[in-house]
Amino acid sequence: MSAGFHDAAENGIAVDADVIIVGSGAGGGAAARTLADAGLSVLVLEEGPYLPSASLGYKTFDSLHALMRNGGQQAAFGKAAVPVVQACVVGGTTFVNSAIIWRLPEKVLAKWHAEHGLADGFRANELDDAYALIEKDMFVRPVTDSVATGSDRKLALGAERAGIEHRAIHRNEKDCKGSGRCLHGCHNDAKQSTTINYLRRATESGAQVFSHARVERILREGSKAVGVTGTIRGKGPQAGKPFRAHAKRAVIIAASVIQSPNLLRRSRIGLDNSALGNHFMAHPGTSLVGLYSEPMNPWSGASQGYEAYGLRDTLGVKIETINVPPEVAASRLPGFGEKYLSMLDRLPYMAIWSVALKSEAEGNVRPSWLLGGDIIRYEMTSGDFERMRQGLKRAAEMHFLAGATAVLPGVHGLPGTITADQLSVFDSAPLDGTGYGIIATHLFGTCRAGTDPKHSVVDAHLQVHGTPNLYVMDASVFPTNTGVNPQHSIMAISTMASRRLASA
């Protein structure tokens, strides 16, 4: 384990610091680095394990089991079960995502200023300054030709011919070898997860990062937050023991859109706040497979290398290439018997694109008092599905414009494969979640920021209303969803708020 990183199950936990940060993903990593650089003593507590790249495998089930919350089995429930993928590991979801970097769109920021009173806290010039620092430190650049895939080139061609704006995806990586295994954790240490970048920088400035440290309550004296309590997980002499840690200056919750509100609720903070745990939002997405006559070899190259973003403002849809593991791709193919075997043999000729939606739906998250976990309720609207099927239709059209011989819609009630003259089948695709294979990524909103303490959980500086010294710094503070991948926005907003905290 690198210097500054500790396994709580082996060593126990340091008990005092200026700042305690709960969670080590995008928000926690950025806060840790900023505050440690400012000279404060910082303690980062992460529930999941620390996994060095040498320990990472390539088998999907084992990766899910090792890296993801509930072994990748977490789901939101409405009419359908929607998997909600979150890592539970040092580095959080930055450890398993595709490293896609987008600045917060100006229109979204303007809406936050106008409708949520965040002009004072979320200043454009401060955010720009934070973005620039992160982009430099995280080696952000467009996907290079050396790791671009056949699927990437097809998306570029299809989007160009369809007249939809497109670009090579910008990622935080250094010396990517195009192993196609981002979703299992980068075994080349090329992806700049917070584990190998921001947390490491933080430890160089004195921060201490503890894995297997599950925080269960926020400690308060009067209304002021003064520390945390929790239980040590993992395997080792300290495993199963409770711990208590004190913070002189602040406690920062950066535990994710699901865990952060539930930690507040378990700590009996904000129970009378109508926003706590509500306004859960996401970018639900589904995939569309194009069959080509030339090999796409969808398991080598950048895991996600190209995107068509020109439908964001009209349909609220972004189309991206995505390489998924062979066993996952195979499980979504239609048919059984000879039909299925023939499909399996064509796996290397498939280009898989995801269609991600800026959904208008809102759900909620609550702790499960009985099971000790989290309950997520989420139901996309019929308007969402109207736009989803239009997005799928445009993506299918792009596949055909790029030369696909057939498309696999993957939607219940539609044919298993369609040709270019059957695009209209998408017009009759179902308008509820039971017809689609949807996964929710990019979560937002359950501790939304705002100036009204009755309808928001944190203020414009991310301090919890009515609880001095307690902050939330993750995507749960976003008052709306963003339409783009949120890691960069989370890190920038966390950097900005941490700078203010350090100088206060």
Q: Which residues bind another protein (CB under 8 A)?
A: 58-62, 65, 70-71, 73, 79-81, 179-181, 294-295, 297, 299-300, 325-328, 330-332, 334-337, 340-341, 344-345, 347-349, 412, 434, 437
Tokens of 326: 């062979």
- Minimum Å gap between C-beta 177 and another protein is 9
Give all strands (DSSP E) within 176-274, no chain letters.
208-211, 213-221, 224-232, 242-253
Closer CB to another protein, 16 or 327, in the complex:
327
Closer CB to another protein, 61 or 241, in the complex:
61
- Minimum Å gap between C-beta 181 and another protein is 6
- Type of residue found at 162: A
* Tokens 């210097």 -> residue: 3
Distance CA 166, CA 163 (A): 9
Closer CB to another protein, 347 or 420, in the complex:
347
- Minimum Å gap between C-beta 77 and another protein is 11
Count H helices, E strands: the chain? 12, 21
- Minimum Å gap between C-beta 299 and another protein is 4
Closer CB to another protein, 274 or 434, in the complex:
434
Closer CB to another protein, 77 or 268, in the complex:
77
Question: Exposed e or buried b for every residue in 331-365, given b needs 16+ CB within 10 A?
Answer: eebeeeeeeeeebeebbebbbbbbbbbbbebbbbb
In three-state secondary structure terms, 185 is coil
Closer CB to another protein, 74 or 354, in the complex:
74
Distance CA 415, CA 384 (A): 22
- Minimum Å gap between C-beta 499 and another protein is 40
Q: List CB contacts of 311: < 8 A, sequence separation 6 or more.
A: 164, 317, 318, 319, 391, 394
In Å, how far are 119, 122, 202, 275, 446 from 263, measured between CA atoms?
28, 25, 24, 14, 12
Tokens of 19: 């700042």
Closer CB to another protein, 86 or 481, in the complex:
86
Distance CA 246, CA 17 (A): 6
- Minimum Å gap between C-beta 373 and another protein is 9
- Minimum Å gap between C-beta 60 and another protein is 6
Closer CB to another protein, 175 or 345, in the complex:
345
- Minimum Å gap between C-beta 446 and another protein is 22
**What residues pair up with 168 in beta bridges, in sequence order?**
306
